[in-house]
Amino acid sequence: MRILAIETATPLASVAVLDRSGLLAETVMRAPMHHLEWLLPAVHEMLQHLGIASDSIEGLAVSCGPGGFTGLRIGIATAIAWAKARDLPAVGVGTLEALARVPGVDGLVLPVLDAHRGEVAGALYRVGANGVGECLIPPLVAPPDALVARAGPHPGPVLLLGDGLDKYGAAMLSGLGARARAGGAHLHPRAAAVGMVAMPRFINGERTDLDALRPVYGRRPVAWPGKETLSRGGNQR
């Protein structure tokens, strides 16, 4: 099976083509607020470089957030339009789950994205040597210390990564103690990882209903102070 993967949750956008053997190609571009202009031309150029036609794509994998309002909308709308036009299946993948998929990592991974307004979007995964992650703490938006408090009871070394470390890395590492280490704020969600998470789901026959394929923006509704949640479909980051 050959799939096209799209990741537009952050300013570092990417697209990738994968099949059962692994990654065939990936294109990455820092495109803040320019996802719309960049996305489709990048896909067509990548397919041309691979020497394959667009009708050889058999499925769409797309990052669904949390992430930026505009980028997520564009990425998901593009995936839906492509899938509907060609009658193809699609799989939505959590951005934090894709970010947690780091080659060679075996253990706890805490991906953290800056959700602004003093908060982060994060989740905790236990990643096996095969790259498959078990979600221990589902994605949430919360102050950094609240996320650390949730992760604290889970024993073992923990790897933190993502752009949330730019502002909050030192405090979060301190809160988790000596068992924590930083993988780097420079590690961003990538389309290749989105596709790698999605591929076994495609193979197993899993699909996301296109009408249910909606972005998770990663912003708490103002009317619900103190509640940790991820908003779908309406609130801007």
The answer, yes or no, to whether residue 197 has pLDDT greater than 50, is yes
Position with higher pLDDT, 38 vs 52: 52
Mean pLDDT across the chain: 88
pLDDT in tens, 74-114: 999 999 999 999 999 999 999 999 999 887 778 999 999 99
Please give the model's pTM, rounded to 2 decimal places.
Answer: 0.88
| Stretch 136-149: mean pLDDT | 94
pLDDT at 131: 65
The architecture in CATH of the region 3-95+189-212 reads 2-Layer Sandwich (3.30)
Domain locations along the chain: 3-95+189-212, 105-184
- Three-state SS at 171: helix
Q: How many CB atoms within 10 Å of residue 216? A: 26
Taking the domain 105-184, which CATH number applies? 3.30.420.40
Give dist(CA 56, CA 59) in Å, integer: 9
How many helices, marked H, and strands, marked E, lie in the chain?
A: 6, 10
pLDDT at 202: 97
Nearest to 8 by CA among 33, 45, 25, 44: 33
The answer, yes or no, to whether residue 128 has pLDDT greater than 50, is yes
pLDDT in tens, 66-82: 988 888 999 999 999 99
pLDDT at 55: 95
Give dist(CA 161, CA 17) in Å, integer: 24
Encoded tokens for 104: 């060679």
Residues 6+ apart with CB under 8 A from 85: none
The answer, yes or no, to whether residue 228 has pLDDT greater than 50, is no
| Stretch 189-204: mean pLDDT | 95
pLDDT in tens, 6-47: 999 988 999 999 999 999 999 998 866 667 788 999 999 999
pLDDT at 189: 92
